[in-house]
Each structure stands twice: as structure tokens, then as C-alpha cells.
Structure 1
Amino acid sequence: MMKYRATNFRRKLKPYIMLMPVMIFIIGIFITGLVFGLLQSLGYFPALGLYEISLDYYKNVFRNTDFLSSFQFSLYTSFLSTLLSVVLGVFLSYLIVYTKSKHIKGLVNVYKGPILVPHTIAALLIFILFIQSGLLARILYGFGLIGDMSDFPPLIFDGGGIGIMLAYIWKGLPFITFITIDILRNLDERYAKVAANLGASHAQVFRYVLLPQLFPTIASGFMILFAFSFGAYEIPHLLGASTPKALPVLAYIYYANIELADRANAMVINMCIAFFAFIALGLYVLAFRLLKKYGGA
């Protein structure tokens, strides 16, 4: 019995041992970059002749109105786009699993497509579709629904970040659908049938029976999408307005500034992004533990 347990333990441990060299290399690069970024954000920047560690750069950045507006903009666009992606993705997965419509079930063959598209291409597609002289505006103009293409609302390069959120939703919705659709398919249908037999509506069955079992998966997906969109650079850079800018774009501007001392300010912003990423990671781990505890997967 002891020999069997030892053999089983070695079998489980083998994949981790084989991955260890690569993981040490990757984690080493990550930790090294994080440590150097933290030191540079504190003013220790030997390449610029800065050797004194202080919190002055943090104070300067946190008092900067550009940083505050960028922080609010990133938080707003990331949270709202992630929330809409989760709501629409869960709704779509519910329709695919429980509807009897062949047209809805046909979506199962196409909803994964945007997951494979790079974010830069997603930004280009949103630009082509929703710019004022884009495809959608031309279609509406051709049908006489707008008098001029300038009547089409400015969704790209707008201060509200609508174009940015459209790109995030287009990428995030299929991701949420992908991680929830199999969960719905594998849930025990007896609970839903009992609730329906007792007079519960479809909305009540979903809210009180299915949603509690899906919640850990939904929460983990929310954290992944939020952390990514909050720290993403390419979509806000390509589709965002000149002001306010997303935090990653502002960090790049600081780092590329001719004034080399601004690079420390850029590192402060990067540390703020990393801080929120770690918070999202902690919440993801919590959601994963809930998922294992309550059998959501």
C-alpha cells in the first residue's frame, strides 16, 4: 500500500518537475522585471544618475490630474466592458444550451472565432465598422436612415471610450461563453426540472438554480478579463481619444518622453497596474477555490 502511494505521488509530481526549468526561467524574468520596476518607481535609476530611494515620484504621479483622469478612464472602460462581456456571454451560453432554436444552436460553431483574433486585428475591425465614415455608417446612409455620415455618432476616438469597450466586448464575450457553456451542459438538470415543475419561470430557474452553480466560474472569468483590459495597451492606443488616455498609454508616453526623469513616473504607473493585476489574481484564486469547494466545474 505504501509502495503504491509513493508511486502515485511520484507520478503526480513528475509533470511539475519536468516543467520546473521553464517555470524558473519565466518566473525569474517576471520577478526580476517587477523588482527593477519597483526600484525605478522609487527613484533608484542608476542609468539616469538617480540613486536615492524616495516616494516623491509616487506623490507627484498621484497628484497629477492626467494620472487621475487616466485611472478613472481605465477603471471605467475595463469594468464596464468586462461586466457587459460577462452578462452577454452567460446569456449566450444559456441560449445555446437550453434553447430549441436551430439558429441559436448554430452559434456554437461561430462564437469561438473572436478568441483566435489578435487584439490589434480586433481594433482594426472595430475601427472599420464604427468610425463615422465606416461600414456601418455607409450602410445606414445607403438605407436613408441618416442624412449624412457625419450624423453617425462618433464611437471611435471618443472621450467615453465606447470604441475601446466595443473591442473588449467583442473579444471577451466569446471567452466567457467558452468557459460557461460546458459548465451549463454538465450541470445536473434535475434541480432545474424540479424548480420548473414547482412553478418557477425560466428567469427564476436561472437566477436561483443555475447562477449559484455558475458564479465561481463567472467570477474567475470576470477577474481574468478585467485584469487584462486594465493593463492592455494596444486597443486603447489604437482606438482611444487624445484625452483621457488609458493608464498603459500614459505610462508609455511618460517612458518615451524626451525628459528622461519621466521614466520613473512611467514605472509608478506600471506598479499601479501591477497592483490591480495582483488584486485580480487574488480574487481569481479565491473564485477558483470556491469553484472546487462547491463543485461548479
Structure 2
Amino acid sequence: MKYKMKPYILLLPIMIVILGIFASGLIMAFIQSLGHFEAVGLHEYTLRYYKEVLNSKDFLSSLGFSLYTSLVSSIIAIVLGVLLSYSIFKTKNNNRLVESIYKLPIIVPHIVAVLLVYNILAQSGILSRMLYSIGLIKEPTQFPSLLHERNGLGIIIAYAWKEIPFVAMVTYTILSNLSHNLSEVALNLGATKRQVFFHVILPIIMPTIFSSFIIIFAFSFGAYEVPFLLGPTYPKALPVKAFIEYNNPDLTNRPYAMVINMILTFVSIFLVWIYQKTFELISKYKG
């Protein structure tokens, strides 16, 4: 019992500080989302702001846009990340340089990733000027607009560029610990390489893939900087809409911002719960 409690006791001081700040902020946001904000003369508790936000077309558009960009970018990252890790795993002569290069985007901040995407894919960016210089387009403005458009292509590209290496790194860690004998036995029994991947390798790494999907989806759904810098004027991503509502000069508008923030929090908590249940199932299966 003493050894089991020791790590928790050592972590207790810093956890009190972290959880105290987080919990107090969350409680204050929840109270303000119910319309109680004494600083501006709002004293009653009501669900009116929740009803107005949930029935708002702008909110529903922002929610759908955030879910769309997060889901699409996460699916792209999962598919390409798994394929990248598997291709590195199948390489007979594992090159440490290759393993290091694909991990580089992980350490790049999202702000820098946005800058790279903007400089490359903007109509005045590097790619459009290259196509113009070799004569494929008559002028840079003929290059398709990939940024600040309604489909969120710029957001999806930025997130995918950041998330693919993360998925590849996580799944490659599992693959690197697998015995090559599994694939060889399946091949000797008459399975094709495609069947080996889908029926032998994929089931083993599926729990890792699912947990990685939850992590990157939760992050991209709640992140602010990428949709703010690369997103369209309308619809805005949900975190961007919350930020705009929070900065409204009319402080009586603050409960609307807090309602959106609480919805983001509820979605994040739900995803964390799914993540925890996933690991419980994995542990139970392994047991």
C-alpha cells in the first residue's frame, strides 16, 4: 500500500495547483454559461443561453464545420500515418535518417505549420509561382484558392501534415515490436501480402489506431489557431466563434461564449471517457 500511494503523494502538490486552476476556471465558466455574471448585473440562473445557442444557425454551422474538418483531417492522418509506418516497418534496411525525418513535423508548432501551408499553398505562394514559371498557369491567380474557403481545405491540410507523423510514430512503435515471423507464417500458409496486412497486422494495431484517432480528433476539434488563421469567414470553427463571442465589447454577451466553451468541454470530456474505456477494453483483452 505504501509503495502504491507514494507516486500519488509526490504528485499531490503540483496536482493541487493544476487541478485547482483548471477546476476553478471550469466552475466559473459553467456558472457564467447559466447567465450568472454579477460583474455586469446578471444575477439569475437560467438555461436560456443554452437554448438560444443550440437553436442558432450560426452555432450549428460552426459545430458542423468543426466536426467536418476534425473528422476529415483525422481520417486522412490515420490512413496515411498507418501506411507510412507500415512501409517503414517493411523496409528491410531500416534507415535511422528516414525514421528521424518523418518525425520532424511533430516538433513544429502549429503556428509554424500554418505559416508553411500559407507560404506554399496561397495563390501568391511558392507552388503557384512555380507553376507560373514553368508555364502551367498563365498567372498566379489561376492557382486554385485552397485557403480561407468554405470547405476548410487549408485547415485539413495543416492538421494532416502535423498529425500523419504522430500516427506513424505511435503505430510504428507497436509494429517495431512485432515479430516478422507472424507475416512469414501467414505467407507460408498461402495468404497474400494484402491479407497479411488486413487480417494479421491491422487487428494487432487497431487499438492503437483507435486511441490515436481520438487524441488527434479531440485536439483538432478544440484547437483555435489553425482555423483562425486558415479558416473561412463563414462558417467559423467553434473555438474561433467562442473567442469572438468572448471578445464582444458587450459583457452581457459573455454567457454565450461560455456556453460554447462548455459544449467544447463536454465533447472533450466525452472523448477522454471513450479513450479511457478503450484502454480498459485493451487491458481486459490482453488479460
Which residue of 2 is the match for residue 88 of structure 1? 80
Displacement after TM superposition at 1:38 (Å): 0.9
Question: Is the alpha carbon distance of 1:189 and 1:289 closer, same or farther for their aligned partners in structure 2, counting shifts above 3 Å?
Answer: farther
Which residue of 1 is the match for residue 63 of structure 2? 71
Calculate the TM-score normalised by the size of structure 2: 0.95
Equivalent residue in structure 2 for 1:215, among 190, 202, 206: 206
Which string of whole-angstrom CA distances, capped at 9 and with x for unpartnered residues, describes residues 153-173 of structure 1? Answer: 111111110001111111111
Displacement after TM superposition at 1:10 (Å): 3.0
SS of 2:251's equivalent in the other structure is coil
Displacement after TM superposition at 1:12 (Å): 4.1
Which residue identity lines up with residue 29 of structure 1 in the other structure? I
Map 1:1-297 to 2 at 5 A. 9-100=1-92, 106-295=97-286
Displacement after TM superposition at 1:44 (Å): 1.0
Which residue identity lines up with residue 124 of structure 2 in the other structure? S
For 2:281 and 2:204, locate their aligned partners in 1 and report how far apart those are by CA, in whole Å.
Answer: 10
Which string of whole-angstrom CA distances, capped at 9 and with x for unpartnered residues, describes residues 128-156 of structure 1? Answer: 11101101111111122222211111111
Question: Is the alpha carbon distance of 1:113 and 1:295 closer, same or farther for their aligned partners in structure 2, counting shifts above 3 Å?
Answer: farther
Which string of whole-angstrom CA distances, capped at 9 and with x for unpartnered residues, describes residues 227-266 of structure 1? Answer: 1110100111111111110001101111111222221100
Which string of whole-angstrom CA distances, capped at 9 and with x for unpartnered residues, describes residues 191-217 of structure 1? Answer: 322211122222211111111111111
SS of 1:160's equivalent in the other structure is coil
Displacement after TM superposition at 1:284 (Å): 0.8
For 2:129 and 2:96, locate their aligned partners in 1 and report how far apart those are by CA, in whole Å.
Answer: 31
For 1:279 and 1:81, locate their aligned partners in 2 and report how far apart those are by CA, in whole Å.
Answer: 20
SS of 1:180's equivalent in the other structure is helix
SS of 2:20's equivalent in the other structure is helix
Displacement after TM superposition at 1:190 (Å): 2.9
Which residue identity lines up with residue 282 of structure 1 in the other structure? W
Which residue identity lines up with residue 37 of structure 1 in the other structure? A
For the aligned residues, what is the CA RMSD?
Answer: 1.7
SS of 1:70's equivalent in the other structure is helix
| Unpaired stretches in structure 2, ≥5 consecutive residues | none
Q: Is the 8 A contact 1:41 1:264 kept in 2?
A: yes
Which residue identity lines up with residue 76 of structure 2 in the other structure? L
Displacement after TM superposition at 1:101 (Å): 7.0
Bigger mean CA deviation after superposition, 72-81 or 38-47: 38-47
Bigger mean CA deviation after superposition, 225-234 or 93-102: 93-102
Which string of whole-angstrom CA distances, capped at 9 and with x for unpartnered residues, describes residues 247-295 of structure 1? Answer: 0110111111122222110001001111110111011112222333344
Q: Is the 8 A contact 1:61 1:67 kept in 2?
A: yes
Percent identity reads 50
Q: Is the 8 A contact 1:96 1:105 kept in 2?
A: no
Q: Is the 8 A contact 1:57 1:265 kept in 2?
A: yes
Displacement after TM superposition at 1:105 (Å): 7.1
| Unpaired stretches in structure 1, ≥5 consecutive residues | 1-8
SS of 1:52's equivalent in the other structure is coil
Count of residue correspondences: 287
Q: Is the 8 A contact 1:88 1:173 kept in 2?
A: yes
Q: Is the 8 A contact 1:217 1:291 kept in 2?
A: no
For 1:101 and 1:201, locate their aligned partners in 2 and report how far apart those are by CA, in whole Å.
Answer: 22
For 1:156 and 1:130, locate their aligned partners in 2 and report how far apart those are by CA, in whole Å.
Answer: 7
For 1:120 and 1:172, locate their aligned partners in 2 and report how far apart those are by CA, in whole Å.
Answer: 14
